[in-house]
Structure formats: structure tokens, C-alpha cells
Structure 1
Amino acid sequence: MSASNWDRIVDVVIVGSGGAALVAATMAADEGAEVLVVEKDELLGGTTAVSGGGIWLPNNHVMAEAGIPDSKDAALAYIKRVCDGRAPDPELLEVFVDTAPEMLKYLVEHTPATFHIQPLPDYYTPWGWEGHLPRPGRTVEANPYPVGERLPEWRDKIVKRGTLMSLGAATTLTEDFMPRTPEMEAELARREAEDVRPKGAALIAALLEGLLNRDVSIWLSSPAKDLITDEAGSAIGVVVEHDGNRTRVGARKGIVLACGGFEWNRDMVMTHLGYDVKPLSPGGNTGDGLAMAMKAGAQLGNTTSYWGTPVMFDPDITRNGEMVPQFEWGRGEPSSLVVNQKGKRFANEALPYNDFPKAFGVFDNTNHEFPNAGPCWQIFDNVVRSKVRVLSMLPGEPDPEWAIKADSIAELASMIDIEPSALVSTVERFNENAANGEDPDFERHRKGLMGPGAVKPLTEGPFYAVRIYPGMLGTNGGPMITQDGEVRLQGGGVIEGLYAAGNTAANVFGWAYPSGGGTIGNGTVFGYRAGIHAGSRPARDI
């Protein structure tokens, strides 16, 4: 779409309102730019607001204050090994490591956001790779934010955690790993009463207050529909559906696309990923940014990848009459395993959650099939059932009506349409090796994030089966970017005036996920750089 008359002109337009978008808006405003944030949804916050809120930022000052040593060299060595040579632009890895501590310190000094260390290790610590940090590592989390006190007029306009039961709506991620003492219960009750938001919503709320203090304009329920380019192909504006009108917004300096991935666009998912992957993110992530960038001639990267997590469905958790994907429960517990519909194990069940779903998409070229296509089955015994929550099956409480259980493995197999002899054979082999503390098939006794080194036989009935599927926190492929978030042009150069960050852009880590918060860390760092670059550019005559 080419330029003509404008309904409004600003310096920088930010498309999206997650962590990457709001950091970009903050930086552009601090460079003196007039900034407009446009958000498709009626609520602010994007995927970040419903996330666990971790931000993976190597060598940051919050770590140093907590006495956790780190260095650029160690972080870079680790991240290069995790990426395994598949980063879309390896030079951006060093840019990320250099910028991460700078970005976090800026937010602390110039916005209401404050942070603490999350109790997460680098996810490949059990592999012993150079530069890894054990628990606690490089992940920070925003401190709970008093939305009710500080942003009362926005409390119903910021995304709240809704149907994801595994991450508490009032707890920090740190507290999710702690016992519920009377003192904690009292604090959580206070947060609920006073609308104090933790996790990703805390980051969004703090950044929002900072933007309001900067007089940044924010349009909700205003989806960006099309980029506007000039005769040279430069991005100079965007068409936004606002207040029922198609509004042409000119951007004197630039446009930042930070509006999520394409995980809710099934056509894009099947085209780029090639198999069905269940999304856990907000439903507005339908590839709008990717479509606009492609139309403008962007060079794409990493579009076959996603931030993975296995998911389960609980019949008691629904939205609009449909079951809602839930984070997995119990994977990697000692007396448990995961099998495909043929009754065969197909991966180390203790793998990091980003990695395990990728095994569902493996193609068996001998038998010309996808043997692990979901649903697959998590099988566990009563030892696991008695001590670990699995969806709404709680230890010490009666089984819900939907629970699938049997007194023998053969009977359980018949109930889930698996050939009994196949599942019995798989469990017998697992049990025989697990009795010696070993897993020669997948080395689960040596490697894994989810309870590494812990394998035990499944011996105590009844035995249980829960469907498990490949899921994703979001896709992470899109336009390739420069070190300053500029969108690269197919064939060379950049699309002048166009930037991308977060899940709209090609993940600088490639397919890899170094630790909890790798998603928001990647997004906020390059949102920071994009905002500075766009905001500091000379204004164009549009």
C-alpha cells in the first residue's frame, strides 16, 4: 500500500503490547520520539502478560547483587553451544549478551520495574556444557506490581492469567516452587484483594505505568492491518482499524512490529511447522506481523521453529465450551514414561520442555509415517499419582471422572487403544533397566531437566494414562533483523523504517531455548535496541 493522506502522524508506531513492544516504546519515547502503541486485543500485555515472567539476561546486575558470578565469555560459550550452529545470524548472539545487562539496568533506573532472581538453572546444566549456570542462574522476574493502587483505571485492561492452572495467578514463579505456609497464604490473599499482579503481568504493568508517565498514546482493540510504503519501499505508516475506522497512521521515524507469532494461524502453522502444535498463548497471535513483513519484502528466518512445551487437556478446564491446553504435569517423574500410539517410547521424558515436543514431529522414513503424532500418552503408576498433581488429579483426593486407570498395564493399554503386548513390552524393558537406575535407550538417568537421573520401575497399581500433545508458547520465526532490530530485505539491505522484535522476528537463538525467560529475554533486548534506533533517527518527510 502506498502513501497518501494521513489520519494521524507520529514518530514511531509500535504494533503489539507485550514485553518487547513496551520496551521498544519506552526507548523510542526516551529518545524524544512521539510514540503510538496499537494493540489488536481489547487487553494489554500479549503473551508476556500470561507468562511466568522470566527474563533470561546473562551477566546482569541483579545477579551480581545476589552474589551470582557470571561473565560475557561464559554466557557466550553457553549460548553458542545451545544454538549448535543454527542461529540465523551468529553475530547477534554477542549483541544479545552485550546488551542484556544494559537493558535490565536501564529499566530499573528509568521505569517503575524492579526485579528478583528466579530459581531456575540454565536448562542444559545437566549436560555440563561450558558456561552454564546451575540454579539460580541468569533468569530474573519482575517483582509483584500493585495494579489496583498504581493503575486502577487500567486494571480491567491488562491481560490476566485465566485458564492455565499450573502457574499461580497471585504467586511469583519463585513462590510456585515453595510450600504454602500460612504467611504465604496471607500474602497471596492480600495480593488478590489489592490486585497485585506477579510474573509477566507485573512486567507489563510496570512498563505501562512508565509509558503513561511519558505520555505515550495506547490504542486497544486496534489491529494493524497493512503497512504503508513509499515508492522506494520504505515503511512510512500503517493502516489500523481504530474506533470502527480504517485509520492511516504515518510514522516519521519508524514502525516496530512486536505483535507475537503465528501459532493461532493454522494455515501458517501447517505451512511452516508442518504438524499440529497446540498453542497456549493468547488467541490474537495469528501472524499479522509476519504477513505485513512478508508483503514488504522481508527476508525470513527460523519459521520452522517454535517455543515448545508439551500440553495436556483437562475436561474440567474449558473456555467457550472448548477444552483449553494446559502445561504438562508429572513428565519425568521416576516411575513414569511417555509412549506413542504404538506403545513405544520415543524420547527422553526428562528433556527440557522446549525440546520434548519436537519429537512429536519426527518422520519415520522407513515406514513412511509420523509415529509420534499426538495424542501420545503419559503412563504413570500410583506412586506418582499419590505425590504429584496431574491436571486436576490432586494427591490425596479421589480420581476425577475423566481419569483413565487400570489395575494392569495390559488393561490400561486396551483402554487407550494401544496393542497390549506392545505397551507391556515397553514397560517391562523400562522397569528392568530402571531397577538398576539406568535408561540405556534415552539416557534419562544421565541427562534431562525434569528430574534428571531419576528412573524407577512402574510397579504400584493402579496405573494411569493421560493424553499428551506437542504444544507451544509461541512461534519464533519471522523477519530477519539487524543488531538494531531493522527488518532485513530479501536480497540484501534493510526495509527502511521497519523493525521487528519478540516472536514476530526470527529468534536470534534459532530453535534453541537456553533457559526460562529465553523468550522474553530475546524479545526485550532487541525491542530495546529497536526502540533506541527508531526513536533516535531523523524524522522523515512523509
Structure 2
Amino acid sequence: MSAQTPQTTSWDETVDVLVVGSGGAALTGAYSAAAQGLDTLVVEKTEYFGGTTAYAGACLWLPGNQAQARAGVEDSADLARAYFRSLVGDATPHELQDAYLDGAGPLVEFLERDELIDFEYRPFPDYYPGPGRFDAGRGVFPVPLERPEGSAELLDAVRPPAYAERLRLPAPEGPLEDGRALIGRLLLALHGAGGRAERHTALTALVQDDTGRVTGAEVRTASGGTRRIEARRGVLLAAGGYERASDLRRTWGNGPGADWTMGPAGGGTGDALRAATGLGATATMLDESWWCPSVLFPDGSAAFALGFRAGVFVDARGRRFANECLSYDRMGRAMMAAGAGDRPDRPVWWVWDAAHGEEPPGIVLVPTDRESFEQAGVWRTADTIEGIAAEIGVPADALAATVKTFNGYAAEGHDPEFGRGDDPYDRFFTDPESTVPNPCLLPLERGPFHAVRIVLGDLGTKGGLGTDVHARVLRGDGSVIEGLYAAGNTAANVTGPVYPGPGAPIGTGMVFGHRAATHMASGT
């Protein structure tokens, strides 16, 4: 990719706003621009709209919004600020934090002015204890989208769910749900506001004038040709991160690499980041991702897993090393701290017993196929603890001691080592009718015992371009690259090294995508 082309007055097309990418941040920015009267074009590199957002449950961490108020949830930017500051502190500029928190509620109000965009509150706990924490959560979700008449061409281009795409299954019929509902609603609203969106169109270069202002971009079309698109008000880069760029991840020491990411194939290759840094843009937090424990698949890929209802995670020593019920980013960081599951030579195994069935007792975003997993050696079964220890290559006496200790904790209802079950998030996925002392602590007592391999995966990278409160991209000296904006995983995230609650990745991206569009619409 060329980072820059010579200045030119020869354009193939002229728009007010060019948006690169089509996830939640990109489409929020695009719709916001179009709704404010700007001629807006979205270009998407892959065959589908939606990016990683389409895979998501699409809880949105947008504190103090009217969808919460409709459900009787009393929240505010100030309550969220107390919580956010207690976690993030000075890891990111306070003015960026305030821009996000103060902009969340107004964004929901702005979006819901369009009858095509609708949100609802559903409980999902914040991820950390602290002042201002909501034990029942403060997230809102897009309402499932019935397919309006005449919308098939647009909605059929929304990325399928992760399981369907990974297993090469057709997208489900009927209403769009979760992240696909968010993408579908934003696409329809964008179309209704006069904006356009194109697939199979990849960014190849940003164009500057002789003052250093970004005036447009070069893109590669499906036929392999080049188009030069002038963007009179600006270019918004919201094309995801570099989760699929093995070279960038190696350079920046970003985790185990591209094989274990949940980012969709074909995207997340860092194109926007490369183009902007080629113009002198600063980039930070490049070793950071939205981490998660993931189930290793036979082909070497991995799938996000959460909501662990039973079993234990053990490392190569046959020992537990963390509270398995931690929120996924916290568990991923615990894996890194313990040197467990972050490399092929440091395995983690999720072990459970027959009382919890033959399928993994939790939520795996892509369904497991036991036969193929067993053939690949990433699923093991044995009648005894000693047998499963031999199958997964850990010391039998250590695993037996681990299980005996854990079963004692289950009988007592308390895990003094790691506090499993002490936090509202831990208990969120458990059986509400359970009568055991601690529903997060269920003993492992009878064979056969099962084990599947767990690795350190991610939902995308979270480091990226430095930006100001208007999402304008900054140079290393702090000056603004005029005409260039970034949001979503293309930008360094305002949460720093913390994942405060469900929907923070999409929520932050949406707020700054909207702020970028509003700044472009202001003409300043």
C-alpha cells in the first residue's frame, strides 16, 4: 500500500465525507454525516458490511441514555465517569474520556430520531467493582430488525454471524439480531439519509494537498482498477484494527498473533493505520487488544468463549491460575500474567466432568464438533482424573490435588484462592434456580472427564491512531492532520488497558464516529 499520493486535482468522484470501513463506528459516523446534510460514501474492503461488529452481541456501553431511562435505569455521564476514572485513571487523556462519556447519551438521542434506529436496555453487568459500577449493567442493545420490504439487497450484504461464516453456512433467515441488527439499522438509515455504501472497495492511499490537509483517497475496486475520491469535508478511517496483520502484530509485540483473533477474515489488516502513519500520524497502545479466552479449533483458529458455568482452567502444571468466571478481557490478561495459553508451548485446558454434559459448559461463539476436535487432539476424554491428566500432559498428582481442592471450595461455597463467584458478573451466567452454596462452584466428581484446549484470543486490536476530542488524527507533535479522522479500532481506544463493561469497543467507536461527522458538518 502507498501511504500517500502526489497532490492532484484529477478526481474520479467527489463527496463531502468518505468513510473507510463499515462496522459500528464507521456506519455511525457515515449516518451522522448524511443526516447532517453531507454527501457521504462508505467504502468497505470485503464482500460484507459490518466488520467485527456484525459478530458481536452488540451490547453498547453508552451510559446515561434515553433507552436506559425508558427501562427505569437511572444512569448519567457523571455516575459512569466515577466508575471509568477509577479504572482508567490517567492512562488516556481526561478530555477524551469526557468526550466519550458526555457524548454517549446525546448520541443515542440523535440516532433514535430516525425511526429505523431503536435501542433497548438489557441487564449485563459492568466488568469491574468500583464506584459508579452497575451490578446489573448499563448496556443497551439494538432492537432486532425485521426486514422491511425492498431492503433485501442491502441487508443480504450484512456479514453473517460468526458461526455461519466460519462454518460456511448460510446466514439465518428472519430478523437481524445483535450486531447484525445494529449494522442493518445503520445501513438502512444511511441509505434513507442519502448516503451510499460500496463493498469490494479497498483503501490504497490517502491524498494530501500542499498544506498537508487530507483531501481524499485512492481506492482499489473489485475489478482491480483505481478510483480517486475527493472528500471535501474529510476522510473518516474506521476500518478496524490490525488483528489479521501478522507482520504488525509481530513488530508491536501484540499477543500470540493473527491466528487466534475473532476478527473476520479479509479485514483487520491495518490498511488504514499504515496509510495514516505514512503521513506522519502518531499511533499508541500498539501492544493492546480486546483479549478473551478462546477455544482452539482443529484448523489452528480459535473462537471466543465466555459464560463458563462449570469446570476449571488448568495450566501445564495442572494448576488453576485465575478465576475462570472473570469477564473475558480480565481473564485474557490473567492468562498473559500467568504465562498460560498465550503461546502454543504454554497450554491451558478447560476440564469438566460428566455431570455437566458432553458439550463445553459455557458459550462458544462457533459451535464445536467433538469428532474433528478429538482427531486434532484439542479435545480429550478419559474416565478418571488420572486418565485425563495423562491425555492433556499434566502431572496426575497435581491435577488430582487441584480438583480435590476445588471440590472442597464447592462444598463450602467460597473460592479463597481466586474469588470465583464473589462478583455479580461471575454469577450472571449461572442457573438462577440453583440451590448450591455458590452456583459458580460446581464440583468435578464423576467421569468421563473432558478437556478442550483454551488459548489467548482477541476480539480485535485496540491500539491505533492518536486522536483529539473531535476524532481528528494527530501527528507525533500533537498537531492535527486536517481532513483526517479516525474511530473504532483504527484509533487508540479511550479505555486504555481496561475493558470497563460490555459494549465498550463498539460504544466508544460509535461516539467518536459521530463526533467526527459532527465536526465535519460544522465546517470548522
Answer whether contact 2:303 2:457 (CA < 8 A) is retained. no
Superposition map of 1:406-417 within 5 A: 406-417=382-393
Contact 1:18/1:47, CA 8 A, preserved across alignment: yes
CA distance in 2, matches of 1:26, 1:463: 51
Post-superposition offset of 1:139: 1.0
Residues 1:381 and 2:360 aligned together: no
**Residue of 205, 210, 213 corresponding to 1:234:** 213
CA-CA distance at 1:14 after TM superposition: 0.4
Distance in 1 (alpha carbons) for counterparts of 2:423 and 2:344: 21
CA 1:405–1:192 in structure 2 vs 1: closer, same or farther (change >3 Å)? closer
- 1:476 maps to 2:475: no
Instruction: Output the CA distance in 1 between the equivalents of 2:380 and 2:418.
Output: 26
**Alpha-carbon distance, 1:411 to partner:** 1.2
Mapped partners of 1:399, 1:227: distance in 2 = 47
The structure 2 residue matched to 1:325, chosen from 302, 306, 309, is 302
Aligned position for 2:434? none
Structure 1 residues 373 and 60: alpha-carbon distance in aligned structure 2, compared to 1, 3 A threshold: farther
How far does residue 34 in structure 1 lie from its aligned partner after superposition? Answer: 1.6
Instruction: Tell me which residue corresponds to 1:176.
Output: none
- Measured after TM superposition, the shift of residue 153 of structure 1 is 1.9
Alignment of 1:497-508 (within 5 A): 497-508=483-494
Partner of 2:141: 141
Contact map agreement 1:476 1:503 (CA 8 A) in 2: yes
Measure the CA separation in 2 of the matches of 1:464 and 1:495: 55
1:244 pairs, out of 224, 231, 236, with 224
Q: For residue 118 of structure 1, report the CA deviation from its aligned partner.
A: 2.2
Q: 1:429 to 1:410 in 2, by over 3 A?
A: same
Tell whether the 8 Å contact from 1:11 to 1:535 is kept in structure 2 after alignment.
no
1:214 to 183, 193, 198: 193
How far, CA to CA, are the matches of 1:238 and 1:455 in structure 2? 55
| 8 Å contact kept, 1:148–1:196 | no
CA contact (8 A) 1:308 1:471 kept: yes
> Is residue 132 of structure 1 aligned with residue 133 of structure 2?
yes
Provide, for residues 170-192 of structure 1, a one-character-per-residue CA deviation record: whole Å limited to 9, x for no partner: 9xxxxxxxxxxxxxxxxxxxx95
Q: Which residue of 2 aligns with 1:281?
A: 263
Q: In structure 2, what is the equivalent of residue 178 of structure 1?
A: none
TM-score calculated relative to the size of structure 1: 0.85
TM-superposition CA deviations, 1:481-523 (whole Å, max 9, x none): 1111001111121111110001111111112222211111111
How many residue pairs match? The answer is 494
Q: How does 1:255-404 map to 2 (within 5 A)?
A: 255-277=235-257, 278-283=260-265, 284-313=267-296, 322=299, 324-328=301-305, 331=308, 333=310, 336-362=311-337, 374-385=346-357, 389=361, 402=374, 403-404=379-380
Query: In the alignment, is the contact (CA less than 8 A) between 1:374 and 1:469 conserved in 2?
Result: no
Give the superposition deviation at 1:39: 0.6
C-alpha contact 1:361 1:372 (8 A) present in aligned 2: no
Q: Post-superposition shift, 1:3?
A: 1.1
SS in 2 for 1:109: coil
- For 1:271, give the aligned amino acid: T
Could you tell me which residue of structure 1 aligns to residue 123 of structure 2?
119
Other structure's SS at 1:116 match: strand
Report if the CA contact (8 A) 1:43-1:159 is conserved. yes
| 1:80 aligns to 2:85 (yes or no) | yes
**Match of 2:147, as an amino acid?**
V
Percent identity for Structure 1 against Structure 2? 36
Cα distance, 1:326 vs structure 2: 2.3
The answer to whether residue 146 in structure 2 is matched with residue 156 in structure 1 is: no
Q: d(CA) in 1 for partners of 2:306 and 2:470?
A: 39
Structure 2: where are the runs of 5+ without partners? 429-437
| Residues 401-431 of structure 1: CA deviation (Å, up to 9, x unaligned) | 7352222212111111222223223323333
Aligned equivalent of 1:537? 523
Structure 1 unaligned regions, length at least 5: 171-190, 316-321, 393-397
Q: Matches of 1:363 and 1:274 in 2, distance apart?
A: 17
Corresponding residue number in structure 1 for 2:63: 58
User: Given the superposition, is the C-alpha separation of residues 448 and 411 from structure 1 closer, same or farther in structure 2, using an over 3 Å criterion?
Assistant: farther
Displacement over 4 Å in runs of 4+: 369-374, 386-392, 398-401
Q: In 2, Cα distance between the equivalents of 1:432 and 1:110?
A: 55
Distance 1:362 1:121 in 2: 24
Deviation at 1:148, TM superposition (A): 5.8
Give deviations 1:338-394, integer Å, cap 9, x for gaps. 111222222221111111112333377xxxx978965310111222237964579xx
Q: Quick one: distance in 1 between partners of 2:488 and 2:68?
A: 23
**RMSD across aligned positions (CA):** 2.8
> Which residue of the partner structure matches residue 95 of structure 1?
99
Distance 1:513 1:528 in 2: 21
